[in-house]
Structures are given as structure tokens and as C-alpha cells.
């Protein structure tokens, strides 16, 4: 049985392969099933399929869109059976097929294997019930691609690729700073790259336009990053009231308890890495890269790591791992679980101060 890590890695590779193949070979299948939680990539996949079929722009005579919640499988099948008008193929998109009753999905799954070769059918769903016979039939008859939410280590190369498509070269620490500032939402990160592109403007010289931290600073608001760093600093100081205030500001801004817990865990793993990096004789930029922090955050990270202490940091990492499991399995409210974790982190720091 594949591990979660292997399943994630396979899905990321599959998503990249989808875009590379589409760019090099065009639309090669008559039916696509796009699933997964990363809606930005799902939307991008649909747009790229449309652009590949209609390079001169969408042809409304040969395009049909359906929301599964407001249509039946028979409507989609009927659209697929229409002949293209002054074009080689039609495109039919139906979103939310996982909301259909089993009977509707069964009707479509029976049609797809013998569907019209002049139509490309694109089906979107968060996740289909693998136990259903219709789901198994669809998976066997279509090109199925899963688009998972990217983990932080995969966001950095994604940002670099997005920037290069716009003729930009992101400098050292820029991808990490963008993620720390904006978060892991691909749509928000994509908009940030667009803003940077507009701000930097065209260049008279050939080649990629460089983007440094200094050049990017006026463009990207750093409110979220400040709040994340403030939360960590307040935990390190054992300041319960201020830490809870920062937590609730992050929650109001749309961050999830699971995401906040993950951000805290990342900060404490960096504290732990500081000790290992120092033992290896690293300092300056070398230590920053080893720890995984932007250069401008290194000194703050070193001070926090020294203040919290290695043993207490190890306890914090263990606590945050337990919290992650609770957030994904307990019936308690997520907010209560993460509040309790922050309280325990603050109390651990206070105990460390008085020891």
C-alpha cells in the first residue's frame, strides 16, 4: 500500500505531466476527469484544454458548460452528440459530477466509452466515491488527473515557473517570502506574480527581468507574515493573551486551524534546525538556507531559537504533531484544539523561564 507521501508525490508528478503533455501534444483524449482539492490547478487545466482546442479564442457554437447540480446526465450526453459547427471538435465541460446521484453518474459512465470522437468531454469533481461502480467505469474510460494542494516545498518551484512564464526571474528568498507573506493559496500567489510583473514593467534588455526582495517589498503587503511571526514571537515570550489575539486575527483572515498549526510546526522545526546547523559550523546565508528561512528572518529566528531552547522546541514539535492528528480526527472544534495547543506552548515557555 502506498504511503501518503508517495500518493502525494505521484499526484504532483501526474499534474505536471498533464500540463507538459497538453503543451507538447495537444488534446489527445475525448474525455477527461479532473479531481482534487486544488481548484486553481483544476481551473487552469480546463482553461488550457479550451485554449488547445480553440487557439483563436472560444467558439461558443462549439462550447457547452454545465453545473451538475442544475442538469442531468442526459443533458450532457445530448450536448456531446451535437456535431461541431465549422470546427473539428466541440468542448463540453460539466463541473461537480460528484454531486450527482449514482444513477446519473452511471448513465454518463456508460456513454463515455463509445462517445462521439468529435467531442471532448471534461468532467470536474472534488472526489468520486471509489466504491461506486460508475466511478470505476469512468476512471477506466477517461484520462483522470488528480490535482492536490501543493506542499510548501513544491510551491517554490511552482512560483519560479509562473514567474518565468511572465519573463521574470525571482531572486534568492523571493519565493519563500511570497509564501510567508501571502500563504499557500495558488490563486493569491498567482495574482502576486501578476502584480510584480506589472510593477516591474517591460525591459529594453533581452532575457528575464530580475525580481529582488528590495524591488518586491513595495508591491506585496506583509500583514499575514507579520501575524505569523508575531504569533511565534508571542509564544516564545510566553505571552498568552497576545498569542491568542494573533491566532484570532489569522482565523479572521481565513487561515484554517490546520494551516496555522502547520505554520507553527514549521517555525519550531526551524528552531531545532538552528542547533544542527550551528553544530555543522554554518553561519550567515549558509545557515539561513540550511534552516529554511529567508535571510532577513535569520537573526529573529536565531534569537527565538535561543530563547525557547532546544529541549523545549523538541517538546513543542511533538505537541504540534499531536495537535495535527487531533485536528484531523477529533470531534472537538478545531478552534478549541489549536487554542489549547498555543496555551500549552506558552506555558512550556514559562516553565522553561522559571526552571
Concatenate the DSSP letters of all residues of 13-56 into one string.
HHHHHHHHHHHHH----SEEEEESS-HHHHHHHHHHHHHHH-TT
Instruction: Give whole-number Cα distances, 7 to 11, 36, 141, 267, in Å.
Output: 6, 13, 22, 26
CB 225, CB 250: distance < 8 Å: no
The class (CATH top level) of 152-216 is: mainly alpha
- Match domain 4-146 to its CATH number in 3.40.50.300, 3.40.50.10190, 3.50.50.60, 3.40.1360.10: 3.40.50.300
Angle ∠(302,307,313) on CA atoms, nearest 5: 85
- In angstroms, the Cα distances linking 76 to 5, 79, 105, 139, 310 are 36, 5, 11, 18, 60
CA distance 178 to 156: 9
Q: If you count them, how many residues does the chain have?
A: 355
Q: What is the pLDDT along the chain (355 residues), one digit of tens a residue?
A: 678 888 899 999 999 999 999 999 999 999 999 999 888 899 999 999 999 999 988 888 999 999 988 899 999 999 999 999 988 999 999 999 999 999 999 999 999 999 999 999 999 998 888 888 888 888 888 999 999 988 888 999 999 999 999 999 998 888 888 887 777 778 878 888 888 888 888 877 778 899 988 788 766 655 555 667 788 888 888 889 888 988 888 888 777 888 888 888 888 888 888 888 888 888 887 787 777 776 667 788 888 888 877 787 888 888 999 998 898 888 888 999 999 999 998 887 666 544 4
Question: Looking at residue 143, what DSSP letter applies?
Answer: E
Residue range 231-248, pLDDT digits in tens: 888 888 888 988 898 888
Q: How far is residue 61 CA from its own chain's centroid? A: 34
Tell how many helices (H) and how many strands (E) occur in the chain: 16, 7
Tell me which DSSP letter residue 151 carries. Answer: P
Supply the DSSP symbol for 118. Answer: T
Residue 222: its pLDDT value, please? Answer: 52
pLDDT in tens, 58-89: 888 999 999 988 899 999 999 999 999 988 99
The predicted pLDDT at position 232 comes to 81
**Taking the chain, what is the end-to-end CA distance rounded to the nearest angstrom?**
46
Contact between 352 and 309 (Cβ < 8 Å):
yes
Q: What is the pLDDT of residue 354?
A: 44
Q: Treating both helix axes as pointing N-terminal to C-terminal, what angle do 223-237 and 334-354 enclose, rounded to 10 degrees?
A: 50
Taking domain 223-354, whether its CATH number is 1.20.272.10 is answered by yes
Task: Give the residue extent of every domain in the chain.
Answer: 4-146, 152-216, 223-354
State how beta strands 63-67 and 31-35 pair. unpaired
Amino acid at each position: 500500500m502506498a504511503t501518503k507521501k508517495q500518493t502525494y508525490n505521484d499526484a504532483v508528478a501526474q499534474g505536471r505531466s498533464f500540463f507538459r503533455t497538453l503543451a507538447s501534444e495537444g488534446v489527445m483524449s475525448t474525455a477527461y476527469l479532473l479531481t482534487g482539492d486544488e481548484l486553481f490547478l483544476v481551473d487552469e487545466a480546463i482553461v488550457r484544454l479550451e485554449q488547445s482546442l480553440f487557439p483563436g479564442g472560444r467558439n461558443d457554437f462549439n462550447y457547452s458548460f454545465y453545473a451538475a447540480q442544475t442538469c442531468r446526465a442526459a443533458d450532457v450526453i445530448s450536448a456531446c452528440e451535437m456535431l461541431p459547427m465549422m470546427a473539428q471538435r466541440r468542448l463540453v465541460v460539466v463541473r461537480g459530477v460528484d454531486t450527482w446521484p449514482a444513477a446519473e453518474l452511471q448513465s454518463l459512465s456508460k456513454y463515455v466509452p463509445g462517445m462521439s470522437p468529435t467531442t471532448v468531454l471534461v468532467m470536474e469533481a472534488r472526489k468520486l466515491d471509489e466504491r461506486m461502480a460508475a466511478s470505476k467505469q469512468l476512471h477506466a474510460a477517461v484520462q483522470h488527473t488528480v490535482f492536490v494542494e501543493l506542499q510548501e516545498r513544491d510551491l517554490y518551484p511552482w512560483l519560479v515557473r509562473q514567474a518565468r512564464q511572465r519573463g521574470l526571474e525571482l531572486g534568492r528568498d523571493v519565493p519563500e517570502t511570497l509564501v510567508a507573506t501571502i500563504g499557500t493559496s495558488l490563486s493569491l500567489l498567482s495574482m502576486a506574480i501578476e502584480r510584480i510583473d506589472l510593477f516591474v514593467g517591460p525591459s529594453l534588455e533581452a532575457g528575464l527581468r530580475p525580481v529582488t526582495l528590495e524591488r518586491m517589498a513595495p508591491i506585496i503587503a506583509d500583514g499575514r507574515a507579520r501575524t505569523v511571526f508575531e504569533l511565534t514571537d508571542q509564544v516564545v515570550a510566553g505571552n498568552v493573551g497576545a498569542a491568542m489575539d494573533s491566532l484570532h486575527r489569522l482565523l479572521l483572515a481565513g487561515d484554517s486551524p490546520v494551516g496555522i498549526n502547520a505554520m507553527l510546526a514549521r517555525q519550531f522545526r526551524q528552531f531545532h534546525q538552528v542547533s544542527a546547523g550551528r553544530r555543522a559550523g554554518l553561519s550567515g546565508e549558509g545557515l539561513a538556507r540550511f534552516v529554511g528561512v529567508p535571510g532577513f528572518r535569520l537573526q529573529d529566528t536565531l534569537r527565538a531559537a535561543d530563547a525557547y531552547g532546544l529541549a523545549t522546541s523538541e517538546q513543542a514539535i511533538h505537541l504540534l504533531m499531536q495537535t495535527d492528528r487531533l485536528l484531523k480526527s477529533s470531534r472537538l472544534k478545531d478552534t478549541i484544539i489549536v487554542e489549547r495547543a498555543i496555551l500549552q506552548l506558552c506555558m512550556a515557555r514559562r516553565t522553561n523561564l522559571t526552571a
